[in-house]
Amino acid sequence: MTHNVSKDDIARAVAVLKDGELVAFPTETVYGLGADASNVEAVRKVYAAKGRPADHPLIVHVADAVQLANWAGEIPPAAHALAKKYWPGPLTLVLKRNARVPDEVTGGQDTVALRVPGHPVAQQLLRAFGGGIAAPSANRFGRVSATTAEHVREEFGDAVACVLDGGAADVGIESTIVDCSGAVPTLLRPGWITPQQLEAVLGVPLAVADAAAPRVSGTLEKHYAPRTPLMLVEGDLVVELARSLVRQGKRVAALVRTALRPLMDGLVWVAAPDDAAGFAHDLYANLRELDQAGCDVILVEQPPERAEWFAIRDRLNRATAGSGEDLD
Ligand code: AMP
Ligand code: MG
């Protein structure tokens, strides 16, 4: 993974965190907007910068699984097994919290979300800092996550002084979140690590959180959304629908998995990779580009039903929720 972060940059970021200020940093999923997780004032600044409601909890990032005990009250065998297999990596575990964890981090819940990121810059930062870094995705509340340092600057301008540039995030979508605080491990948010992979480690079926009863922000129905209304469309209908909308005088953007661009004025055409890993890697950058095209609608080709597309479908469904109704 290429990045331009020097030892001095890390030292400066650590000083900023210790000062109670915010640092945006790369992880392998998306960029995080980090604060010292044990400093209540610093954590409040994260909510203020994002415009995020205070009851939506943050993920605490730590350098390694040994640090779990500093934050979690109870670590069940399922959590140990998942941590052993997938950390460092794009997996977040929700565990019973211990008394030291500020309410500001947990949204007042009796659980805490923990992750050991694998990105080398996140690892260097966490090791140099020593403590936990509470970090949600580095985007304004409800908006498309940032997968480059450039995106972070687009979101926050000068409001976040310290941005570590670790290049484009590898995975491109947020971590898989598994709640291990109850009797049955439960999938709270799909991510690159699939339910099937988790079940292979757990040896038992994973419960899936009731989508109708969201507890937390990453699971709000409308989330990860560009400003332009977005519609999911079956592949063979994209061109037809685009044509008819353009005929009605609409400006149309399309995100498709074929490079064959139809000849049509008034159409912004972005070709995405046809494999799930490539598609996820580029997804948020593509949504930002399509949003900035200033069209009336974004048509997105419906992804395949296969397991590796599960988290991508989840993000696109949330990006679609509530949009599109001002089309006619
Ligand atoms: P974001 O960084 O924007 O992806 O947001 C962090 C996400 O972590 C939240 O939206 C929740 O989905 C999840 N999360 C953090 N803490 C908890 C917790 N204690 N219980 C359940 N989910 C959590
Ligand atoms: Mg987020």
Give tens-digit pLDDT for 177-207: 999 999 999 999 999 999 999 999 999 999 9
Nearest to 289 by CA among 313, 259, 254, 246: 254
DSSP one-letter code for 97: B
pLDDT band at 224 (very low <50, low <70, confident <90, very high): confident
Q: Is 219 in the pocket of ligand 1 (CB under 6 A)?
A: yes
Calculate how far, in angstroms, residue 245's C-alpha sits from the geometric centre of ligand 1. 38
Q: Is 230 in the pocket of ligand 1 (CB under 6 A)?
A: no
- Give yes or no: residues 73 and 190 share one domain: yes
Calculate how far, in angstroms, residue 124's C-alpha sits from the geometric centre of ligand 2. 23
Look at residue 322 in the predicted model and tell me its pLDDT: 53
Helix or strand run (H / E) with residue 59: strand 59-61
Number of domains in the chain: 2
Atom of ligand 1 nearest to the CA of 145: 3
Tell which of 208, 241, 257 closes a domain. 208
What pTM value is reported for the model? 0.93
- Give yes or no: residues 75 and 192 share one domain: yes
Which residues on neighbouring strands pair with residue 135, listed in sequence order? 59
Question: For residue 53, what is the domain's CATH number?
Answer: 3.90.870.10
pLDDT band at 327 (very low <50, low <70, confident <90, very high): very low
- Give yes or no: residues 154 and 252 share one domain: no
Calculate how far, in angstroms, residue 292's C-alpha sits from the geometric centre of ligand 1. 28
Mean pLDDT of 137-145: 92
CA 111 – CA 95 distance, rounded (Å): 5
What is the residue-averaged pLDDT of the chain? 92
- Give yes or no: residues 251 and 197 share one domain: no
Domain contains 193: yes
**pLDDT digits 0-9 by tens, 113-140:** 999 999 999 999 999 999 999 999 999 9
Look at residue 91 in the predicted model and tell me its pLDDT: 98
- Give yes or no: residues 19 and 126 share one domain: yes
Calculate how far, in angstroms, residue 241's C-alpha sits from the geometric centre of ligand 2. 31
Q: Is 138 in the pocket of ligand 1 (CB under 6 A)?
A: no
Q: Is 256 in the pocket of ligand 1 (CB under 6 A)?
A: no
Residue range(s) defining the domain that contains residue 198: 7-208
Look at residue 186 in the predicted model and tell me its pLDDT: 97
Domain contains 220: no
Domain contains 217: no
Q: Is 57 in the pocket of ligand 1 (CB under 6 A)?
A: yes
CA 296-299-303 angle, 5° bins: 160
Within the chain, residue ranges assigned H as helices are: 7-18, 40-50, 68-71, 77-86, 103-106, 120-129, 149-156, 195-202, 238-247, 276-292, 310-320
Calculate how far, in angstroms, residue 243's C-alpha sits from the geometric centre of ligand 1. 40
**pLDDT digits 0-9 by tens, 236-277:** 899 999 999 999 999 999 999 987 788 888 899 999 999 999
Q: Which of 2-6, 81-85, 315-319 has the highest mean pLDDT?
A: 81-85
Look at residue 328 in the predicted model and tell me its pLDDT: 37
Q: Is 49 in the pocket of ligand 1 (CB under 6 A)?
A: no
pLDDT band at 1 (very low <50, low <70, confident <90, very high): low
**For residue 214, is pLDDT > 90?**
no
Q: Is 139 in the pocket of ligand 1 (CB under 6 A)?
A: no
- Give yes or no: residues 72 and 168 share one domain: yes
Atom of ligand 1 nearest to the CA of 112: 19
